[in-house]
Amino acid sequence: SNTRKPLIAGNWKMNLNHLEAIALVQKIAFSLTDEQLEAVEAAVLPPFVDIRSVQTLIDGDKLKIAFGAQDLSAHAAGAYTGEVSGSMLAKLGCAYVCVGHSERRQYHGEDDETVGKKVRQSLNNGLSPILCVGEELEVRDAGDHVSHTVGQLLAAVDGLTAEEMDKIVVAYEPVWAIGTGRTATPEDAQEVSAALRKAVADKFGGETAAKLRVLYGGSVKSANCASIMSKPDVDGALVGGASLDAEEFAKLIKFPE
Ligand code: PEP
């Protein structure tokens, strides 16, 4: 047993306009009681342009749903056309920001150094990064998934204080399980999550590691959520596809029932 509150975060990716975004948050809110939203933390990560609408709804109705962004700039401010800074997200009330998602690494050339800078920008602005790590299929087939994933984590958190590390959420997302319908087994998720926690214990101490939330991501749905969440080092989920369906997302929040 531990004191970590489970976190279920919905990564909407490049889906929904602001009207659809509001409708989805309303449906999620209708489907869950305040008690359910206290037992498990729910967060939504809309596209940048939907964040203001979602914020207005959540703040106006005092909904117990956190929100955040899917990415942020590696820079603080200035001549970076098209970028969105951590301070802009913080000003909108974002609690979380996804950093280093495999789609950013794959399609936008983000390397460990860029991911580390984004972690720094998140923390400088009071945002909790949801730091995504995970191996490609070839890496798993070669048996290197643990060292690869731990390496990504250690590179991204290099130079942080233990206090800063307390703000970080780690998401283990094996690339071969994202959007493929192929989920890691609960044992796969546990193996890597335990290794990530141990790496944090070795670098930052046992107290920090005991508080660290490690999420699993990769084709999570209501049908497979509970068995993965039952593993001792898995503290929640980062959910893509299933987070766009209010009923499915609500079921994920209710997984312990
Ligand atoms: C993700 O993009 O973080 C993700 C886990 O996607 P999906 O649930 O669709 O596999």
Asked whether 220 and 252 are in contact (CB, 8 A), the reply is: yes
256 lines ligand 1 (CB under 6 A): no
Q: Does the model's ipTM exceed the 0.85 cut? A: yes
What is the mean pLDDT of the segment spanning 29-47?
A: 96
Tens-digit pLDDT profile for residues 193-237: 999 999 999 999 999 999 999 999 999 999 999 999 999 999 999
Going by pLDDT thresholds of 50, 70 and 90, the confidence category of residue 255 is: confident
Q: Which residues pair with 43 in a beta bridge?
A: 9, 66
**Residue 12 labeled ligand binder:** yes
Going by pLDDT thresholds of 50, 70 and 90, the confidence category of residue 172 is: very high
Q: Which helix (H) or strand (E) holds 69?
A: strand 66-69
Judge whether residue 1 has pLDDT over 60: no
Q: Is 226 exposed, middle or buried (0-12, 13-18, 19+ CB in 10 A)?
A: middle
Taken in order of first residue, the domains within the chain and their CATH numbers are 7-253 (3.20.20.70)
Query: What is d(CA 204, CA 208) in angstroms, rounded to the nearest whole number?
Result: 6
User: What token pair was written down for 224?
Assistant: 């497979």
Query: What is d(CA 206, CA 178) in angstroms, rounded to the nearest whole number?
Result: 30
Residue nearest to atom 7 of ligand 1 (CA): 240
Q: What confidence score (pLDDT) does residue 182 get?
A: 86
What is the mean pLDDT of the segment spanning 42-61?
A: 98
Q: 241 CA to middle of ligand 1, Å? A: 6
Please list the alpha-helical segments (H only) found in the chain: 18-31, 34-39, 48-60, 86-91, 102-107, 112-124, 137-141, 145-156, 162-165, 186-204, 206-211, 222-229, 246-253
Q: 33 CA to middle of ligand 1, Å? A: 25
Going by pLDDT thresholds of 50, 70 and 90, the confidence category of residue 257 is: low
CA 153 to chain centroid, in Å, comes to 14
